[in-house]
Chains A and B, each alone.
Chain A
């Protein structure tokens, strides 16, 4: 009887063959108008999904059953590892995460083949064909340089254990979420490339792409928020965003994806921005691929770069050149035919949305520049440099302030042609409310201009949102407005909440790093922290030193916090497990450093972080907005119509 790892290996090879079939036959068929060739796309895509799913579950099974004869399992798991982390370890390694990537891609392929039956055959064939090309690349990459099923002879008795940083509940769901988003942009990309190949970019194309892009964006938003939360509470540094290359790799597609959602809306409703929308669709997925390249090749070192191998880098770079270079070449060749779409005036909703789009693209480009800059400087032999948070923060504040301002203006302005005096008249009140609100909100500590600006922008979004809603409701009932509209409002409100979180925590957080003797007290952010002492505790696969910190407010005890310093028994790696007390208006954060000497004194880091949870709450609101927009009647009826048409046929 073959072992699951062997079955997985065969499934992966079968998937590669199916992907090759899916990448070639349907596209040729579409060009020659042979419907039997085009029909191959759907079955090849669905069988490919089955094959990749088998491979994925075989790997997961090998992890769950501790099959250490598989190199990947031996290097990333251990018999002492709890079951949920053994499952998460399936995508904890380089090979496993690639398999997850491919699995997601196959999942999207199957979904597209299932839900696009009402589309013209040539479109479906081309879309699935393009996804097949991407899938072929990834499967080939896996089988040639990073096979997850490589066997180990003789098999070791036990494994090396999962990186302790990855042993966290957040890690169980974070990568799948992120990859769903990353890879989800492949659908919009495939639709764009298919449209370019066909040479026809009509409004229908934008309508078909929209829900797919929205789903991908929603997942990506959740994934990024989780990643940020994970680094906040696991890595023990108390920061929530580090402008780390890997974070940037997920943030760039998000920025461009956000622009794409808005641009698609304009293309669908007004037929404008066609070539720009196509470019954004190509860019969003290209940046996802680039992110994969940056993380997996080791070109940029970062805390996340768990796997590095130049051979892999060369492969991904060639693959990137073919996929991205090819699609941009196609764009350069065909975009002129596409045309610019319907005209609009300088003062119109179109041009506000376009400006916002450009700002988001500039933001993504500056993140790309900051991420690539050290590499470029190094490649030109100008020394070793790194663009740190000061660069990113400055650029971001500058680019996002006008972008956020436009969030307020765009939805209120008229399509095609708006009148500036009328806009100023309608928005004047909202602006006055924002200024007064931003200045009136009291804070106990000193006045910080940037925090006030952040509050102003947040209130601006809320006020203009309310204004827009009131305008829409004149003569209409609450329920008659489309869900898409509410989705937009909720997502924009999410942006406001994120802004409050970021500006307040940046402006008013306080931190102390100090050595504390048992019994000693220190005041941080209006709270008194008393260090009681440390004890030793044991977990399932680690041993730890646990400290006790009593927290007082105005002299009365409000809680006890227990930060830990854990040592993984198998690998010997140590990990700080910070104690965090979360609240709506503030987080208290205590992390244990090193023992100072034999006297029982420890170095500790204590942080007071006002409003920090608003950052993630806002991100969740944005994702909820995306999900709400997906339930819009238009998409639901489209599916119903499709079903009815199928039943009729």
Chain B
């Protein structure tokens, strides 16, 4: 049955490809998880004269959400963030990534502002420190300033209910 040999080879290949799918590199957790959140001091979006730094949130559980007015999926997650901030479960801070200040402020006026403070990462340097590879991305940071969870892509209701909220509850204890 030498003619069946290519078929056997292909079946083995498919086996590995199938296994490979479940090893999707994007599901591998960010190397920053369980590491201290990178430090930064950036100008605030609303008042560029003032700055914000993660140090100020020492002792609190908070979310850092990277977003931009040019980002389409940010529109998708935004209503959820607004609802979350209105419920007062967790303070949300915004890292306005590679954006234009005027556009960003217009966007917040139009879509609602769930953020306690927004900072401007105009050149994306802080984004690099945080390993951002596409906006939106959201980091959950604990009382000790350690990143405990990273949501890649828009925050979904499912991720919120199954992962983020339970984690916030246990971290706030």
CB distance from B9 to the nearest CB of A (A): 9
B positions within 8 Å CB-CB of A:
1, 3-4, 6-7, 10-11, 13-14, 16-27, 70-72, 75, 97-99, 122-124
Check A332 against B24 for contact (C-beta < 8 Å). no
Interchain CB contact (< 8 A) of A570 among B21, B70, B72: B70
- Known: A156-B75, A297-B21; 18 extra A-B contacts, CB below 8 A, are A75-B72, A152-B72, A161-B70, A293-B17, A298-B25, A298-B26, A299-B21, A317-B18, A329-B7, A332-B3, A333-B3, A335-B3, A375-B23, A379-B19, A379-B23, A570-B70, A571-B98, A572-B124
| Complex interface residues of chain A between 309 and 336 (CB less than 8 A to chain B) | 310, 313-314, 317, 320-321, 324-325, 328-329, 331-333, 335-336
Check B124 against A317 for contact (C-beta < 8 Å). no
Among the interface residues B14, B17, B75, which one has the most CB atoms of the partner chain A within 10 A? B17
Q: Which residues of A contact B124 (CB under 8 A)?
A: 572
Check A71 against B20 for contact (C-beta < 8 Å). no
Q: Which residues of A contact B23 (CB under 8 A)?
A: 375, 378-379
Q: Which residues of A contact B122 (CB under 8 A)?
A: 572
Is A376 at the interface (CB under 8 A from chain B)? Answer: yes
Q: Which residues of B contact A308 (CB under 8 A)?
A: 24, 26
Check B16 against A376 for contact (C-beta < 8 Å). yes
Instruction: Give complex CA distance A275, B14 in Å.
Output: 23
- Counted as pairs of residues, one from A and one from B, with CB atoms less than 8 Å apart, the total is 88
Chain B binding surface, main DSSP class: helix
Interchain CB contact (< 8 A) of A320 among B1, B3, B14, B22: B14
Known interface pairs A372-B13, A375-B16, A376-B16; A71-B72 also in contact (CB < 8 Å): yes
On chain A, the number of residues with a Cβ less than 8 Å from chain B's Cβ atoms is 45
CB distance from B36 to the nearest CB of A (A): 25
Instruction: Give complex CA distance A475, B90 in Å.
Output: 91
Instruction: Give complex CA distance A154, B19 in Å.
Output: 39
Known interface pairs A298-B26, A572-B98; A321-B14 also in contact (CB < 8 Å): yes
Contact with B along A286-303 (1 / 0, CB 8 A): 100000010001111100
Interchain CB contact (< 8 A) of B10 among A152, A160, A324: A324
CB distance from A65 to the nearest CB of B (A): 18
Chain A residue with minimal CB distance to B23?
Answer: A378
Known interface pairs A308-B26, A336-B3, A572-B124; A299-B72 also in contact (CB < 8 Å): no
Instruction: Give complex CA distance A282, B7 in Å.
Output: 11
Is A74 at the interface (CB under 8 A from chain B)? Answer: yes
Check B16 against A372 for contact (C-beta < 8 Å). yes
Is A252 at the interface (CB under 8 A from chain B)? Answer: no
Is A158 at the interface (CB under 8 A from chain B)? Answer: yes
Contact with B along A128-153 (1 / 0, CB 8 A): 00000000000000000000000010
A positions within 8 Å CB-CB of B:
71, 74-75, 152, 154, 156, 158-161, 275, 279, 282-283, 286, 293, 297-301, 308, 310, 313-314, 317, 320-321, 324-325, 328-329, 331-333, 335-336, 372, 375-376, 378-379, 570-572
- Complex A-B: 26 CB contacts under 8 Å: A152-B72, A154-B75, A156-B72, A160-B70, A160-B71, A161-B70, A282-B6, A293-B17, A299-B20, A299-B21, A308-B26, A310-B21, A313-B21, A314-B21, A317-B14, A317-B18, A325-B11, A331-B3, A331-B6, A332-B7, A333-B3, A336-B3, A375-B17, A375-B23, A570-B70, A571-B70
Q: Which residues of B contact A293 (CB under 8 A)?
A: 17
Q: Which residues of A contact B14 (CB under 8 A)?
A: 317, 320-321, 325
Known interface pairs A308-B24, A571-B98; A160-B6 also in contact (CB < 8 Å): no
Instruction: Give complex CA distance A75, B75 in Å.
Output: 12
Instruction: Give complex CA distance A324, B27 in Å.
Output: 28
**Which 10 A-B residue pairs are closest in the complex by CB-CB distance?**
A572-B98, A332-B4, A379-B19, A328-B7, A335-B3, A299-B20, A313-B21, A375-B20, A332-B3, A301-B25
Q: Which residues of A contact B99 (CB under 8 A)?
A: 572
Check A378 against B21 for contact (C-beta < 8 Å). no
Instruction: Give complex CA distance A572, B68 in Å.
Output: 11
Instruction: Give complex CA distance A132, B1 in Å.
Output: 30
Interchain CB contact (< 8 A) of B72 among A74, A279, A331: A74
CB distance from B105 to the nearest CB of A (A): 14
Instruction: Give complex CA distance A71, B16 in Å.
Output: 33
Check B20 against A378 for contact (C-beta < 8 Å). yes
Q: Which residues of B contact A336 (CB under 8 A)?
A: 3
Chain B residue with minimal CB distance to A74?
Answer: B72
Q: Which residues of B contact A310 (CB under 8 A)?
A: 21-22, 24, 27
Check B6 against A328 for contact (C-beta < 8 Å). yes
Chain B residue with minimal CB distance to A337?
Answer: B3
Q: Which residues of A contact B26 (CB under 8 A)?
A: 298, 308
Instruction: Give complex CA distance A381, B67 in Å.
Output: 36
CB distance from B102 to the nearest CB of A (A): 13
Check A317 against B13 for contact (C-beta < 8 Å). no
Chain B residue with minimal CB distance to A75?
Answer: B72
